With several copies, the nearest count.
Chain A
Amino acid sequence: MRLLEYKGKELLNKYGVKIPRGAIVKSLEDIQTLKAMKFPLFAKSQVPFAGRAKMGLVRRVDTINDAENAARDYLGKVIQDYPIRKVLFEEGVNVAKELYISITLDRENRGYLMLASTEGGIDIEEVARKSPEKIIRLYIDDYEGLRDYMIRGVAQKLGLEGSAVQDFVTVTKAMYRVFTEYDAELVEINPLALTTDGQLMALDVKVMIDDNSLYRHSDISIEDSDYTTEELEARKYGLHYVELTGYVGIMANGAGLTMATMDLVKEFGHEPADFLDVGGGASEDSVKEGLKILLTDDRIKAVLVNIFGGITRCDEVAKGVVGALNEVKTNKPIFIRLKGTNEEEGRKILTEVGLKTYETAEEAMEALSKAITR
């Protein structure tokens, strides 16, 4: 999960990375705490995605009144399903140069990768596309770790000199500590500013933490992550839910099968509205709760359920489907492919409530396709 900017900064700062002086505002009462700060400030909505500035979610404020107005505008606003709960107010920094620096997992080599670039402040994916030669790559072995001399090599390539070299060592070692101690998948500072008075300072950061490690990080709250309310709800039932942009609701068991089902929808010329994996060992409850998410989603015109019963038992799935239909009034058509363990029992349960089942996903999709173009 992606942490909010301020939380990522907090972690990096704890290990020695300099950040602009700032304060978090959660409600209008907090505005008074800004009095001690040096205006103008920058009000930055704490939302977990890129392009905030373009969306008008960052602005300069010159007075306490300005700040209060900004807080009033931002707090509570819902952007991309994500409610703004916090605004970070930061003092300005005089920037001489902007760098990019990150540490990420290297899946292929089963280690870590440091990426650095003199092209800071812009989307690194764009730099990677347009001028890949501007990205410095350093492989880090999980055992050997990140040695100072390696960092000095990177600093040299970035053109850093004098005390900035040692500061860069401090910054990257702090990043490495956050990366390994907090089970991060990505620790990125972009831009890392070289200020006009020669300091290195993290102006924006992106930290992604491995969800599975949260049990050992009591200081990280899922509240400070990019999970939307729906996604958090889905997680409770062991569901993997991702919202997409189409109109065909999809539920399947297993990530591979669910993606294959999305692809099938597209193959028939339609657009999937979601990825919903009820898991390899789906239970009645998870199927019920999963289907309810789809049935209550206004964007969805029809639902395709694709179950291949291995560990999952078809009768459990059928009971879950019936359960959801009992709880949610809907007239969306549902097309169910049911195959595998306890297939007969499952089909019987569904037939009783008037639902037809199909032998293959293709057959179910064909029927769905006819229904919504009709």
Chain B
Amino acid sequence: MGMAILVNENTKVLVQGITGREGSRHAQYMLQYGTKVVAGVTPGRGGQTVQGIPVFDTVEDALRKIPDINTSIIFVPAQFAADSVYEAIDAGIKLVVIITEHIPIHDALRFVNYSKRKGVTIIGPNCPGVVSPLRSKVGILPNHIYTRSGPVGIVSRSGTLTYEISYHLTQAGIGQSTVVGIGGDPIIGTDTLEVVKMFEEDPETRYIVVIGEIGGTMEERLAKYIGSGKITKPVVAYISGRTAPPGKRMGHAGAIVSMGMGSYESKVKAFQEVNVPVARTPTEIVKLIKQYIR
């Protein structure tokens, strides 16, 4: 049996900000998907329930009652999100998925560095989360897209684009081991390279799809690592933002080319040098993967 990465059948989820509009809605969707959502937290709302899920005032309270919580998903508004992340980390939760967008970058920088010191994995912020199809979803990815497990691991900086590529893969009969949306902010908890390393270790994953975009040097660093021979599984990539002008921020706070760094050309060149094929359009990813599977 496959294992997938980050989330699986053993994932027990706490929803921070569960009484908010997004929190309660996606708690429901996750339950519908089959995710074991076992508790929620909203300060001052302890004792209530949301979708039948018990709500606690603090993460500590939740863990005292339900000690096997191992994952938290954060829907708390941006101004209070950082505090929720610290609360989850300090309570001993080892995987924290942050959906919240608009968290100040300096906050994210501090809590990401903190998580690294504490050995906690953060996915996000400003990300769609993680799904291991048919097993568990900790995120907001649409349920109806993720209907087939299989050999392709996806790591992506984009939400919608990922749904689209997953959709086409599944349509083509190709299932996914795990799909990880790492988020579009300049500072994120887990980067492309870190996820690719996890896929390399995962027996279920046999092919890796990297969906990148302009800005930063994550893709270049991944290419360098692939060049060192440490990734043995086939990797294919798509990079969006070829036509974005330098110095302009393209929707994602992280999607900006500056000081000559993070351009489309530099990323494509880096991948091509290590024989990673780069699709010209999102749908071309499916063709590239099919060539390997054939």
Interface residues of A, Cβ cutoff 8 Å to B? 105, 107-108, 110-111, 124-125, 128-129, 142-144, 147-149, 152-153, 156, 162, 165, 180, 183, 185, 210, 212-213, 215-216, 240, 242, 244-245, 252-260, 262-267, 272, 275, 277, 280, 308-312, 339-341, 360-362
| Stretch among B199-207, B228-236, B237-245 lining the A interface | B237-245
CB within 8 Å of A: which of B74-110? Answer: 78-80, 83-84, 86-87, 90, 102-106, 109-110
B163→A310 contact, CB < 8 A = yes
Q: Are A341 and B144 in contact (CB under 8 A)?
A: yes
Which residue numbers of B lie inside 8 Å of A, CB to CB? Answer: 43-44, 57-60, 78-80, 83-84, 86-87, 90, 102-106, 109-110, 112-114, 128, 140-142, 144-145, 156-164, 167, 184, 186-187, 211, 213-214, 216-218, 221, 238, 240-245, 248-255, 258-260, 280-283
Can you offer 13 A-B residue contacts whose CB atoms are under 8 A? A107-B254, A144-B114, A180-B106, A212-B104, A255-B184, A255-B255, A256-B157, A257-B158, A259-B250, A275-B251, A280-B160, A310-B159, A311-B159
Do residues B86 and A149 form an inter-chain contact, with CB atoms below 8 A?
Answer: yes
A108-B216, A110-B109 given; A264·B281 CB < 8 A:
yes
Secondary structure at chain B's binding surface: helix, strand, loop or mixed?
Answer: loop
Given A107-B187, A152-B58, A265-B243, output 13 extra A-B contacts at Cβ < 8 Å. Answer: A105-B186, A108-B217, A110-B112, A143-B113, A183-B105, A213-B106, A215-B79, A253-B160, A255-B158, A260-B281, A262-B242, A267-B281, A309-B142
- Chain A residues near B250: list those with CB within 8 A: 240, 242, 255, 258-259, 275, 277
Interfacial chain B residues near A125, Cβ < 8 Å = 258-260
Contact A254 B113 (CB under 8 A): no
Instruction: Indicate if the CB atoms of B105 and A210 lie closer than 8 Å.
Output: yes
- Which chain A residues lie closer than 8 Å to B145 at the CB level? 310, 340
Contact B164 A308 (CB under 8 A): yes
* Cβ B57 vs Cβ A152 within 8 A: yes
* Contact between B260 and A242, CB atoms less than 8 A apart: no
Q: Are B109 and A185 in contact (CB under 8 A)?
A: no
Whether A107 contacts B160 in the complex (CB less than 8 A), given A149-B86, A210-B104, A256-B240, comes out as: no
* A contact residues around B79 at 8 Å (CB): 215-216
Question: Nearest chain A CB to B182's CB is how many angstroms away?
Answer: 11
The answer to whether B281 touches A362 (Cβ under 8 A) is yes
| Chain B, residue nearest A180 (CB) | B106
Q: Which residues of B sit under 8 angstroms from A277, Cβ to Cβ? A: 250-251
Report yes or no: B244 in contact with A275, Cβ–Cβ below 8 A.
yes
With A148-B80, A253-B160 known to touch, is A272 a contact of B186 (CB < 8 Å)? no
A303 to chain B minimum Cβ distance, whole angstroms, is: 17
User: In the complex, which residue of chain A has the Cβ closest to the Cβ of B46?
Assistant: A156
Known A128-B259, A149-B87: A280·B243 in contact at CB below 8 Å: no
Nearest chain-A residue to B142 (Cβ)?
A310
Chain B residues within 8 Å of A254, by CB: 158-161, 251
Decide if A110 touches B113 in the complex (CB within 8 Å). Answer: yes
In the complex, which of the residues A105, A128, A149, A258 contacts B260, with contact meaning CB atoms closer than 8 Å?
A128
Shortest distance from the beta carbon of B187 to any chain A beta carbon, whole Å: 6
Would A129 and B260 count as touching, CB distance under 8 A?
yes
A287 to B113 alpha-carbon distance, docked (Å)? 37
